[in-house]
């Protein structure tokens, strides 16, 4: 970081060489500065003020000033990643699990408060953009980035650029119904979005946990089920097998539409290493092609992809 700082002092006239990203999460807000090569030059995080919109804006402003003071630079552009989507109708945040953001014109408020150009994108989009730019999908022209964690999200990248979509929801596969359902999957759980049988209700961590409890009577979280399956516990292995089959179907559905070269998994459940070998063995049953070249890959940056992708929102 010191080397970077020296570098900045001599390059003040070229601020566009550097990109500032903010990851606004439910529990923390993180800032990062990358250079054009993707090297991390500055990073700092603070706790998210819980349920307080105005204090959240203040915290973001403070982080930006902190980065600028440390690097002796002013950033005219700031990329921000956050849960939820910017409504293309009202300009307000929708679908965010940080509920104090919902209904707020976050981009507008930040650009006024900060007098800077703000680009705002969904956290799953930032994940996809990060991995497609200099992560484990940097060699691919078409990428589907998938978050499987407390919820399910997704983002699409084509030729290095995010596909945002007419409604701002491109890649949001989690609220389609689970495809090719078996008869026992038709009696589905209601999702927070108001529909039932959503992919998210099966493939999120809580969804995996709920399915295991329904079959075994035991309440375990996703990491525990995975651990016990690896230790040879039969009911956990069966739950894991069902999860793998459902993930294969959910991804096959996307491959049939977008046909990406690479799918990258992120979020807590992407740590289940068996997914990368087992899911591609199954998905070809559901894909409309005699030969499937799409590759399923691990993330390179993991949790750091949110803030990195936010910075890359202003990549040239």
Q: Rule CB under 5 A: which residues touch Zn ion?
A: 175, 191, 193, 198
**Least Cβ distance, residue 84 to Zn ion (angstroms):** 14
Q: How far apart are CA 301 and CA 299, in angstroms?
A: 6
Nearer to Zn ion, 154 or 299 (CB): 154
**Least Cβ distance, residue 256 to Zn ion (angstroms):** 20
**Least Cβ distance, residue 311 to Zn ion (angstroms):** 30
Nearer to Zn ion, 95 or 133 (CB): 95
In sequence order, the 6+-apart residues with CB closer than 8 A to the CB of 294 are: 255, 259, 260, 261, 262, 263, 280, 287
Name the residue with tokens 């978050």: 147
- Angle, helices 53-71 vs 106-114, to 10°: value is 40
Q: How far apart are CA 284 and CA 302, in angstroms?
A: 27
Q: How far apart are CA 91 and CA 305, in angstroms?
A: 25
**Least Cβ distance, residue 300 to Zn ion (angstroms):** 29
Nearer to Zn ion, 202 or 301 (CB): 202
Beta-bridge partners for 94? 85
Contacts of 41-50 spanning 24+ positions with Cβ under 8 A = 41/1, 41/4, 41/5, 41/7, 41/8, 41/71, 42/1, 42/4, 42/67, 42/70, 42/71, 43/307, 48/24, 48/98
Nearer to Zn ion, 153 or 309 (CB): 153
**Least Cβ distance, residue 188 to Zn ion (angstroms):** 10
**Least Cβ distance, residue 224 to Zn ion (angstroms):** 25
**Least Cβ distance, residue 179 to Zn ion (angstroms):** 14
**Least Cβ distance, residue 176 to Zn ion (angstroms):** 9
Nearer to Zn ion, 143 or 198 (CB): 198
Nearer to Zn ion, 15 or 165 (CB): 165
Nearer to Zn ion, 197 or 309 (CB): 197
C-alpha distances in Å from residue 242, one per residue of 196, 203, 302: 19, 10, 25
Nearer to Zn ion, 54 or 193 (CB): 193
Name the residue with tokens 């950033």: 75
**Least Cβ distance, residue 177 to Zn ion (angstroms):** 9
CA 265 to chain centre: 9
CB atoms within 10 A of CB 103: 14
Residue 152's H or E segment, with its range, is strand 152-158
C-alpha distances in Å from residue 175, one per residue of 72, 106, 222, 272: 44, 24, 20, 22
Q: How far apart are CA 107 and CA 85, in angstroms?
A: 11
Q: How far apart are CA 240 and CA 312, in angstroms?
A: 35
Nearer to Zn ion, 88 or 196 (CB): 196
């Amino acid at each position: 970081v010191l080397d970077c700082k020296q570098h900045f002092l001599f390059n003040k006239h070229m601020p566009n060489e550097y990109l500032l990203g903010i990851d606004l999460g439910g529990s923390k807000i993180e800032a990062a500065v990358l250079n054009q090569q993707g090297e991390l030059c500055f990073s700092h995080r603070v706790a998210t003020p819980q349920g307080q919109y105005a204090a959240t804006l203040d915290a973001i402003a403070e982080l930006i000033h902190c980065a600028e003071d440390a690097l002796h630079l002013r950033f005219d552009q700031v990329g921000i990643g956050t849960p939820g989507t910017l409504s293309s109708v009202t300009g307000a945040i929708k679908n965010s699990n940080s509920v104090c953001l919902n209904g707020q014109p976050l981009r507008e408020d930040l650009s006024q408060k900060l007098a800077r150009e703000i680009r705002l994108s969904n956290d799953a989009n930032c994940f996809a953009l990060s991995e497609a730019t200099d992560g484990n999908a940097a060699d691919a022209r078409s990428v589907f980035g998938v978050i499987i964690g407390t919820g399910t999200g997704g983002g699409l990248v084509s030729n290095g650029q995010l596909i945002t979509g007419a409604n701002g929801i491109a890649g949001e596969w989690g609220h389609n119904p689970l495809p090719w359902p078996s008869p026992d999957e038709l009696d589905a759980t209601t999702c927070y979005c108001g529909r039932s049988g959503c992919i998210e209700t099966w493939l999120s961590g809580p969804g995996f946990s709920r399915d295991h409890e329904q079959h075994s009577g035991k309440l375990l979280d996703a990491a525990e089920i995975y651990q016990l399956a690896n230790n040879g516990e039969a009911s956990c292995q069966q739950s894991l097998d069902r999860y793998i089959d459902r993930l294969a179907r959910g991804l096959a559905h996307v491959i049939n539409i977008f046909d990406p070269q690479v799918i990258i998994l992120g979020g807590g459940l992407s740590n289940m290493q068996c997914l990368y070998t087992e899911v591609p063995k199954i998905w070809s049953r559901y894909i409309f092609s005699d030969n499937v070249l799409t590759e399923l890959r691990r993330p390179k940056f993991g949790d750091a992809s949110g803030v990195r992708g936010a910075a890359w929102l202003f990549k040239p």
